[in-house]
């Protein structure tokens, strides 16, 4: 049995659920606008119009400019001083900008009006604006709205509110039919890998939300079984449940163990035998184990702290501890949704220091005291920690990189090994 097998076997036997320390205080994390960067890449015929300030425009430009190279399908309708004169002006300005975008971009089939923090925007009723614009441009484009304001959302919640706004638009799955709905943005290449595995397992039809084209929305209904690919989609999951879907309880498809557990949840729901699951997954698991072996050598025994940021902290900590041999010093997450995290919590060490929420100064003090080999945190905290001689990993990279599934397990581990290797080289 390989080291990873032994760790997985140990884990399956369960470790007990750790206690959660709750912390409230100042937080430092991106707002939900950041989600537009990966959502606009996924939904290829959607346009995201941020109704916001120059700060919002700068955030999007810098996040998107640094992280991606693509024809932009997002913009900011900046409210100018003159717009403050009255809401009627704001609405007229919005209608003008939308008409302009649609004229320039005939390929756009869904337009999201994205709300932000400035008080002038909060006063605007974007729901009503979306209804009005949908009517005006009926047959040409669907207009939806959601708020990604920093007062209400952290950066991965941007995807949750966007998908929640899409949920009422999903067509109805016919009574008596069943389907698997995979929810959460995945790079196309990873989506294709999962689609092949589900096909080989005889599970189907399989749909993905968000879809690549907004005109091809997946159906949902009483026969829908939902597998979440991302752990930050609580509101979307509940909106789908309200439409009759059943949420499958599973770990997240990160690392070999998480991916196998995730596939098993679908296999069990479709009555696929353990033997068939083993046959279909044997080759990708063997590949993943070969790839992980080298990364495990670099990571085993290294101490890691997660500051709360992406909501991916818990499944990734589970992967790094159980498959890469890392020692978890503290794992903090902005929110802990027990319904969505139950399977993951069972796989964490029972004595783990697990924190929900943030009091940034107190957390930084603990990092300074613990001096872990690696701290996973937001961009704003990374530089000061590096200046103090602590190695860091930007959590935002985790949502921009293909990390799900067997074939990405080694790449996921490498994201954490890289700063350690670089740190060791700098020391030499």
Q: Which residues bind ligand SF4 (CB under 6 A)?
A: 31, 33, 52-53, 55-56, 59, 116-117, 149-150
Q: How far is the CB of 344 from ligand SF4 (least distance, A)?
A: 28
Instruction: Return the number of other C-beta atoms located less than 10 Å from residue 54's C-beta.
Output: 12
Provide the CA 161 distance to its chain's centre, in angstroms. 12
Nearest approach in angstroms of CB 33 to ligand SF4 is 5
CB of 72 to ligand SF4, least distance (A): 17
Closest residue to ligand SF4: CB criterion? 150
**Closer to ligand SF4 by Cβ: residue 27 or 318:** 27
Cα 267 to Cα 122: distance, rounded to the nearest angstrom? 45
- Assess whether the previous peptide bond of 205 is cis (omega < 30° from 0): yes
The distance of closest approach from Cβ of residue 153 to ligand SF4 in the complex, given in angstroms and rounded to an integer, is: 8
Q: What are phi and psi of 143, to 5 degrees?
A: -115, 125
* Closer to ligand SF4 by Cβ: residue 56 or 239: 56
Q: Least Å distance between CB 158 and ligand SF4?
A: 9
User: b vs e for 189-214, b when ≥16 Cβ sit within 10 Å of the residue's Cβ?
Assistant: ebbebbbebbeebebeebbbbbbeeb
Classify strands 374-377 and 392-394 as parallel, antiparallel or unpaired: parallel
Residue (59 or 399) nearer to ligand SF4, CB: 59
CA–CA distances in Å: residue 53 to residues 119, 359, 377: 10, 27, 26
Q: Using the minimum distance from each CB to ligand SF4, give the nearer residue, 114 or 340.
A: 114
Q: Output the smallest distance, CB 27 to ligand SF4, in A.
A: 11
Q: CA-to-CA distance for 185 and 238, rounded, in angstroms?
A: 17
Of the two residues 94 and 354, which places its CB atom closer to ligand SF4 in the complex? 94
Token digits for 225?
């079984």
Q: How far is the CB of 118 from ligand SF4 (least distance, A)?
A: 6
Distance CA 401, CA 83 (A): 39
Closest to ligand SF4 by CB, 17 vs 78, is: 78
Contact 399, 312 (CB under 8 A): yes
Q: What's the closest the beta carbon of residue 52 comes to ligand SF4, in angstroms?
A: 5
Residue 387: HSE in the Cβ half-sphere, 13 Å Cα cutoff: 5
Dist. CA 92–CA 169, nearest whole Å: 26
The verdict on whether residue 117 carries a ligand-binding annotation is: yes
CB of 149 to ligand SF4, least distance (A): 5
DSSP-assigned states of every residue in 177-231: --EEEEES---HHHHHHHHHHHHHHT---EEEES-SSTTSPPPBSTTEEEEESST
Pairing of strands 354-358, 142-147: unpaired
Which CB sits closer to ligand SF4, 304 or 399? 399
State which residue, 148 or 329, has the beta carbon closest to ligand SF4: 148
**Cα 313–185–330 angle (5° rounding)?**
0
List the Cα angle 370/360/60 in 5-degree steps: 120
The contacts of residue 412 (CB under 8 Å, 6+ apart) are 254, 255, 316, 319, 401, 403
Residue with tokens 């009006």: 113
The smaller minimum CB distance to ligand SF4, of residues 165 and 375, is found at 165
Closest CA to 231 of 162, 269, 184: 184
Please report, in range form, the residues annotated as the binding site for [4Fe-4S] cluster.
Answer: 31, 56, 117
Please report, in range form, the residues annotated as the binding site.
Answer: 31, 56, 117
């Amino acid at each position: 049995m390989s080291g990873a097998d032994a760790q997985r076997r140990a884990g399956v036997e369960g470790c007990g659920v750790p206690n959660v320390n709750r912390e409230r205080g100042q937080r430092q994390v991106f707002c939900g606008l950041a989600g537009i960067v990966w959502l606009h890449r996924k939904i290829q015929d959607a346009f995201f119009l941020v109704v916001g300030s120059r700060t919002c425009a700068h955030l999007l430009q810098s996040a998107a400019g640094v992280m991606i190279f693509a024809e932009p399908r997002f913009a900011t309708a900046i409210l100018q001083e003159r717009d403050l004169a009255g809401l009627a002006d704001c609405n007229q300005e919005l209608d003008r900008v939308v008409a302009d975008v649609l004229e320039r971009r005939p390929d756009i089939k869904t337009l999201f009006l994205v709300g932000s923090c400035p008080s002038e925007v909060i006063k605007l009723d974007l729901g009503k604006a979306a209804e009005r614009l949908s009517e005006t441009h009926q047959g040409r484009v669907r207009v939806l709205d959601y708020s990604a304001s920093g007062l209400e959302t952290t950066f991965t919640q941007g995807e949750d509110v966007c998908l929640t706004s899409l949920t009422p638009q999903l067509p109805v799955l016919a009574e008596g039919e069943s389907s698997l709905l995979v929810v959460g943005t995945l790079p196309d290449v990873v989506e294709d890998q999962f689609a092949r595995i589900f096909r080989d397992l005889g599970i189907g039809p399989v749909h993905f939300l968000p879809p690549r084209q907004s005109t091809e929305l997946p159906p949902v209904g009483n026969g829908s079984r939902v597998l979440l690919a991302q752990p930050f989609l609580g509101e979307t999951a509940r909106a789908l449940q309200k439409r009759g879907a059943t949420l499958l309880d599973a770990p997240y498809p990160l690392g070999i163990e998480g991916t196998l557990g995730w596939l098993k949840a679908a296999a069990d729901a479709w009555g696929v035998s353990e033997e068939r699951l083993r046959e279909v997954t044997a080759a990708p698991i063997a590949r993943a184990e070969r790839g992980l072996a080298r990364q495990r050598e670099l990571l085993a025994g290294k101490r890691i702290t997660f500051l709360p940021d992406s909501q991916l902290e818990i499944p990734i900590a589970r992967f790094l501890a159980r498959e890469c041999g890392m020692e978890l010093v503290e794992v903090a997450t902005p929110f802990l949704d027990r319904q969505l995290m139950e399977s993951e919590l069972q796989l964490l060490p029972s004595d783990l220091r697990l924190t929900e929420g943030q009091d940034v100064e107190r957390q930084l003090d603990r990092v300074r005291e613990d001096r872990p080999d690696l701290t996973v945190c937001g961009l704003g905290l990374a530089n000061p920690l590096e200046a103090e001689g602590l190695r860091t990993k930007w959590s935002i990279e985790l949502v921009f990189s293909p990390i799900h599934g067997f074939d990405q397990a080694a790449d996921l581990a490498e994201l954490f090994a890289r700063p350690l290797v670089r740190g060791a080289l700098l020391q030499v």
